[in-house]
Amino acid sequence: MKIVVVGTGYVGLVTGACLAEVGTDVICVDVDVQKIENLKKGILPIYEPGLDEIVERNFKKGRLHFSTKLDEAIVRAQVVFIAVGTPPGEDGSANIKYVLQVAETVGKHMNGHIVVVTKSTVPVGTAAKVKETITKALKERNANIEFDVASNPEFLKEGAAVDDFLKPDRIVIGVESESAKNLLHTLYDPFLLNGHPILFMDIPSAEMTKYAANAMLATKISFMNDIANLCDLVGANVNEVRKGIGSDQRIGSRFIYPGIGYGGSCFPKDVRALIKTGEQNNYQLRILSAVDAVNDDQKKIVIQKIFKHYNNDIRKKTFCVWGLAFKPKTADMREAPSLTVIKELLQAGAKVQAYDPVSMHEAKHILNGSISLCEDAIMATENADAIILVTEWPEFRLPDWETILDNMKEHVIFDGRNIYNPEEMKEKGFIYYGIGIR
């Protein structure tokens, strides 16, 4: 099967590489010339465990190609996946202009039947706009070519994207024709050997499923953060509460870990975009407005604990920040809680020295010399007054505490992800602060 994937970010590159891995012929297209040149040389634009091997193998086998020319790629395609960014507009709604740009190019250059599949996260009604845009472009060139649109939202998680794509929990596809359904079923069959379902539905329901899934996960996190903050005030231990509720199968133990808020390129923007869709339909999604507000405040919860500990004066204090990526196993710093924490520390006159196992390159670019970036976790503790654990990378779990204690000026730790045992940390000589635990 001949596939074109447009956009070579987290979703597009993983989709393209994994589809090539099962034997299809894939062209990955992007407008970013540098990205495409680098990919041709085997340099990946993102850190994603296992992705480099799959890209290299399929590129060498001649099944995976990279190009900046969508007009040329489109000519031989049976299926086109649109996986470009849908960044938030100023009012929080999803900006679908890149998706529609791709649709226009497809309409201008296609020369045979194509199934155009939206994989980007897009509001309900976007596939209909894609269809309208292609139809208009075909009309302008007096071309009478049939095509199908479909919606295939992506559920991969950064840090486990390859595994999620190769062995998905489920595949959701919105279609409006039997032929598109059959073609996409054939394409996805190799990924369903684990017996997990492929769910065909109408297009608006597929578009809504993606937002509902992310909104539900964000809700679990904000709910638990709210409970953790109350635990702090009433003297309960949220770790015990979490285990207590998580063993109820109706609730489940995943996604109920409190911390300093969710970040990344999806949850914050998708929650806000769904709230906006509600508003556009005169419906207020009250739960999601609270989820978003709780998350904004939660990113500052560690800062509040820091100010309280230092009586509101952190000038001349040096903070060691462990973890900059929005979560472990990714370099992605979009909407990362670390950025909120660092900004507040700097504004209050403190010094920051930070370390992250993989996002140092991003950090250099984003933080632009405003903090010291250290080569390793231990170095970042030198002469620090306190450690702030922001991202729970495995290497922070059991570091060389003896050297760290020697390195530090004072022994205070703010554990933004509750990864340490408070009693053990106190025994080592730290003043310990967690989220919802003592």
- Which among 18, 28, 231, 266 is annotated as catalytic? 266
| 3-class state of residue 14 by DSSP | helix
Q: By the 8 A CB rule, do 312 and 29 touch?
A: no
CB-based contacts of 113, cutoff 8 Å, min separation 6:
78, 145, 146, 147, 148
Cα distance between residue 56 and residue 41, in whole Å: 9
User: How far is CA 144 from its chain centroid?
Assistant: 39
Of 336, 344, 340, 338, the residue nearest 307 (C-alpha): 344
Residues that bind ligand NAD (CB under 6 A): 6-12, 29-32, 35, 83-86, 98, 101-102, 120-121, 154, 156, 158, 265-266
Provide, rounded to whole angstroms, the least separation between the CB of residue 101 and ligand NAD.
4
Cross-strand partners of 354? 321, 373
CA pseudo-torsion sign 126, 130, 135, 137: positive
Q: For residue 394, what are its two tokens? A: 């495995």
Q: By the 8 A CB rule, do 296 and 267 touch?
A: no
Of 389, 382, 396, the residue nearest 337 (C-alpha): 389
Q: Which helix (H) or strand (E) holds 428?
A: helix 422-428
Q: What angle do CA 363, 391, 122 make, to 5 degrees?
A: 75
Q: Which is nearer to ligand NAD, 167 or 397 (CB)?
A: 167
- Examine the residue annotation and report whether 320 is marked as an active-site residue of this protein: no
CA pseudo-torsion sign 42, 45, 49, 54: negative
Q: Which helix (H) or strand (E) holds 217?
A: helix 203-234
Cα distance between residue 358 and residue 368, in whole Å: 17
CB-based contacts of 170, cutoff 8 Å, min separation 6:
155, 196, 197, 198, 199
Q: By the 8 A CB rule, do 377 and 399 touch?
A: yes
Q: By the 8 A CB rule, do 273 and 123 touch?
A: yes
Q: For residue 390, what are its two tokens? A: 């922001």
Of 213, 172, 169, the residue nearest 195 (C-alpha): 169
Q: How many residues does the chain have?
A: 438
| 3-class state of residue 27 by DSSP | strand
Provide, rounded to whole angstroms, the least separation between the CB of residue 360 and ligand NAD.
19
Which residues are known catalytic residues? 266
